[in-house]
Amino acid sequence: MNLSIWILIIFWIAFGVIHSLAATLWFKEWIKVKMGYWFKYYRLMYSFFALISLLGVLYYQFHIPSKIFFKYAQIQYVFGLLIGTTGLVLMGICIRSYFFNISGLEVFFKKEKVSVLNTSGIHQWVRHPLYLGTLLFVWGCLLLSPSISNLVSCIMITLYTF
Protein backbone atom coordinates (compact mmCIF):
# COMPACT_ATOMS: atom_id res chain seq x y z
CA MET A 1 0.00 0.00 0.00
CA ASN A 2 1.19 3.46 -0.76
CA LEU A 3 1.47 6.36 1.67
CA SER A 4 -1.84 7.98 0.67
CA ILE A 5 -3.75 4.80 1.62
CA TRP A 6 -2.00 4.70 5.01
CA ILE A 7 -2.94 8.35 5.55
CA LEU A 8 -6.54 7.48 4.65
CA ILE A 9 -6.50 4.69 7.24
CA ILE A 10 -5.13 7.12 9.86
CA PHE A 11 -7.84 9.66 8.97
CA TRP A 12 -10.58 7.03 9.39
CA ILE A 13 -9.12 5.88 12.71
CA ALA A 14 -8.88 9.49 13.94
CA PHE A 15 -12.46 10.14 12.83
CA GLY A 16 -13.69 7.04 14.66
CA VAL A 17 -11.75 7.75 17.85
CA ILE A 18 -12.82 11.40 18.05
CA HIS A 19 -16.42 10.58 17.14
CA SER A 20 -16.59 7.81 19.75
CA LEU A 21 -14.85 9.86 22.43
CA ALA A 22 -17.23 12.78 21.94
CA ALA A 23 -20.19 10.41 22.36
CA THR A 24 -19.06 8.85 25.65
CA LEU A 25 -20.92 9.72 28.84
CA TRP A 26 -17.77 10.64 30.79
CA PHE A 27 -16.60 13.02 28.05
CA LYS A 28 -20.03 14.67 27.88
CA GLU A 29 -20.04 15.10 31.66
CA TRP A 30 -16.56 16.66 31.51
CA ILE A 31 -17.61 18.98 28.67
CA LYS A 32 -20.79 19.87 30.53
CA VAL A 33 -18.70 21.22 33.42
CA LYS A 34 -16.47 23.17 31.02
CA MET A 35 -19.29 24.58 28.87
CA GLY A 36 -21.83 25.33 31.56
CA TYR A 37 -24.88 27.07 30.09
CA TRP A 38 -23.64 26.52 26.55
CA PHE A 39 -23.70 22.72 26.94
CA LYS A 40 -27.22 22.68 25.51
CA TYR A 41 -25.53 23.32 22.14
CA TYR A 42 -23.11 20.40 22.53
CA ARG A 43 -25.04 17.99 20.32
CA LEU A 44 -25.32 20.62 17.59
CA MET A 45 -21.57 21.33 17.74
CA TYR A 46 -20.84 17.60 17.86
CA SER A 47 -22.97 17.02 14.75
CA PHE A 48 -21.36 19.93 12.93
CA PHE A 49 -17.85 18.74 13.79
CA ALA A 50 -18.73 15.15 12.79
CA LEU A 51 -20.09 16.36 9.45
CA ILE A 52 -17.09 18.58 8.68
CA SER A 53 -14.56 15.92 9.67
CA LEU A 54 -16.43 13.24 7.68
CA LEU A 55 -16.50 15.49 4.62
CA GLY A 56 -12.76 16.09 5.07
CA VAL A 57 -11.99 12.37 5.15
CA LEU A 58 -14.23 11.73 2.14
CA TYR A 59 -12.67 14.63 0.24
CA TYR A 60 -9.23 13.13 0.84
CA GLN A 61 -10.46 9.64 -0.09
CA PHE A 62 -11.84 10.75 -3.44
CA HIS A 63 -8.85 12.94 -4.32
CA ILE A 64 -6.04 10.44 -3.85
CA PRO A 65 -4.91 8.26 -6.71
CA SER A 66 -6.27 4.76 -6.19
CA LYS A 67 -6.05 1.68 -8.36
CA ILE A 68 -9.07 -0.32 -9.38
CA PHE A 69 -8.49 -3.77 -7.88
CA PHE A 70 -10.81 -5.79 -10.10
CA LYS A 71 -12.62 -5.38 -13.37
CA TYR A 72 -16.32 -5.19 -12.97
CA ALA A 73 -19.13 -6.76 -14.95
CA GLN A 74 -22.62 -5.50 -15.78
CA ILE A 75 -24.21 -7.61 -13.00
CA GLN A 76 -21.82 -6.10 -10.47
CA TYR A 77 -22.95 -2.64 -11.53
CA VAL A 78 -26.62 -3.63 -11.13
CA PHE A 79 -26.02 -5.13 -7.67
CA GLY A 80 -23.94 -2.13 -6.63
CA LEU A 81 -26.65 0.25 -7.76
CA LEU A 82 -29.36 -1.81 -6.04
CA ILE A 83 -27.46 -2.19 -2.75
CA GLY A 84 -26.19 1.40 -2.71
CA THR A 85 -29.60 2.87 -3.54
CA THR A 86 -31.29 0.73 -0.89
CA GLY A 87 -28.77 1.99 1.66
CA LEU A 88 -29.21 5.59 0.56
CA VAL A 89 -33.02 5.33 0.79
CA LEU A 90 -32.77 3.74 4.24
CA MET A 91 -30.39 6.47 5.39
CA GLY A 92 -32.76 9.13 4.03
CA ILE A 93 -35.75 7.63 5.83
CA CYS A 94 -33.82 7.48 9.11
CA ILE A 95 -32.46 10.99 8.83
CA ARG A 96 -35.93 12.31 7.96
CA SER A 97 -37.48 10.41 10.90
CA TYR A 98 -35.14 11.59 13.62
CA PHE A 99 -33.07 14.39 12.15
CA PHE A 100 -33.83 16.85 14.95
CA ASN A 101 -32.90 14.33 17.64
CA ILE A 102 -29.55 13.37 16.13
CA SER A 103 -28.50 16.76 14.79
CA GLY A 104 -28.86 18.86 17.92
CA LEU A 105 -31.28 21.27 16.26
CA GLU A 106 -33.95 20.45 18.84
CA VAL A 107 -32.23 22.94 21.13
CA PHE A 108 -33.91 25.72 19.13
CA PHE A 109 -37.40 24.30 19.62
CA LYS A 110 -39.38 23.94 22.83
CA LYS A 111 -39.97 20.23 22.49
CA GLU A 112 -39.95 17.78 25.36
CA LYS A 113 -37.51 14.95 24.81
CA VAL A 114 -38.94 11.50 25.41
CA SER A 115 -36.63 8.50 25.42
CA VAL A 116 -38.52 5.47 24.20
CA LEU A 117 -37.14 2.37 22.53
CA ASN A 118 -38.59 2.36 19.03
CA THR A 119 -39.67 -1.13 17.96
CA SER A 120 -41.96 -0.21 15.08
CA GLY A 121 -41.31 -0.03 11.35
CA ILE A 122 -37.78 -0.97 10.32
CA HIS A 123 -36.79 -1.04 14.02
CA GLN A 124 -38.69 -4.34 14.29
CA TRP A 125 -35.82 -5.99 12.43
CA VAL A 126 -32.83 -3.70 12.86
CA ARG A 127 -31.72 -1.81 15.97
CA HIS A 128 -29.78 0.83 14.01
CA PRO A 129 -31.25 1.23 10.52
CA LEU A 130 -29.07 4.30 9.86
CA TYR A 131 -25.97 2.15 10.37
CA LEU A 132 -27.38 -0.57 8.14
CA GLY A 133 -28.20 2.00 5.45
CA THR A 134 -24.69 3.43 5.69
CA LEU A 135 -23.09 0.01 5.35
CA LEU A 136 -25.29 -0.93 2.39
CA PHE A 137 -24.52 2.39 0.74
CA VAL A 138 -20.72 2.23 1.12
CA TRP A 139 -20.46 -1.42 0.06
CA GLY A 140 -22.78 -0.74 -2.88
CA CYS A 141 -20.51 2.15 -3.89
CA LEU A 142 -17.54 -0.20 -3.73
CA LEU A 143 -19.22 -2.45 -6.30
CA LEU A 144 -19.72 0.62 -8.52
CA SER A 145 -16.13 1.81 -8.09
CA PRO A 146 -13.87 -1.02 -6.87
CA SER A 147 -10.82 1.05 -5.96
CA ILE A 148 -8.37 0.38 -3.16
CA SER A 149 -9.31 3.63 -1.37
CA ASN A 150 -13.01 2.70 -1.48
CA LEU A 151 -12.23 -0.79 -0.16
CA VAL A 152 -10.16 0.65 2.70
CA SER A 153 -12.96 3.07 3.56
CA CYS A 154 -15.58 0.30 3.48
CA ILE A 155 -13.48 -1.83 5.82
CA MET A 156 -12.79 1.08 8.18
CA ILE A 157 -16.45 2.18 8.29
CA THR A 158 -17.58 -1.42 8.86
CA LEU A 159 -15.06 -1.96 11.67
CA TYR A 160 -16.02 1.33 13.28
CA THR A 161 -19.74 0.55 13.06
CA PHE A 162 -19.32 -2.86 14.68
What string of DSSP letters covers 42-77? HHHHHHHHHHHHHHHHHHHHHHS---B-S---HHHH
145: DSSP letter: S
The sign of the dihedral angle between the CA atoms of 23, 85, 162, 150 is negative
| Residues contacting 122, CB < 8 A, separation 6+ | 90, 93, 94, 129
**Residues 134-158 pLDDT 10s:** 999 999 999 998 999 999 999 999 9
Distance, C-alpha 18 to centroid of its chain = 13
∠ CA 95-133-113, rounded to 5°: 35
Question: Distance between CA atoms of 113 and 106, rounded to whole angstroms?
Answer: 9
Q: Supply the pLDDT for residue 117.
A: 74
pTM (2 d.p.): 0.82
Question: Distance between CA atoms of 87 and 132, rounded to whole angstroms?
Answer: 7
Q: How confident is the model at residue 71 (pLDDT cuts 50, 70, 90)?
A: confident
Q: Please name the residue ranges forming H helices in the chain.
A: 3-23, 25-35, 42-63, 74-103, 129-144, 148-161
Higher-confidence position of 72 and 65: 65
Q: How confident is the model at residue 112 (pLDDT cuts 50, 70, 90)?
A: low
Question: Distance between CA atoms of 92 and 60, rounded to whole angstroms?
Answer: 24
Higher-confidence position of 55 and 106: 55
Question: Distance between CA atoms of 101 and 104, rounded to whole angstroms?
Answer: 6
Of 97, 83, 65, the C-alpha closest to 133 is 83
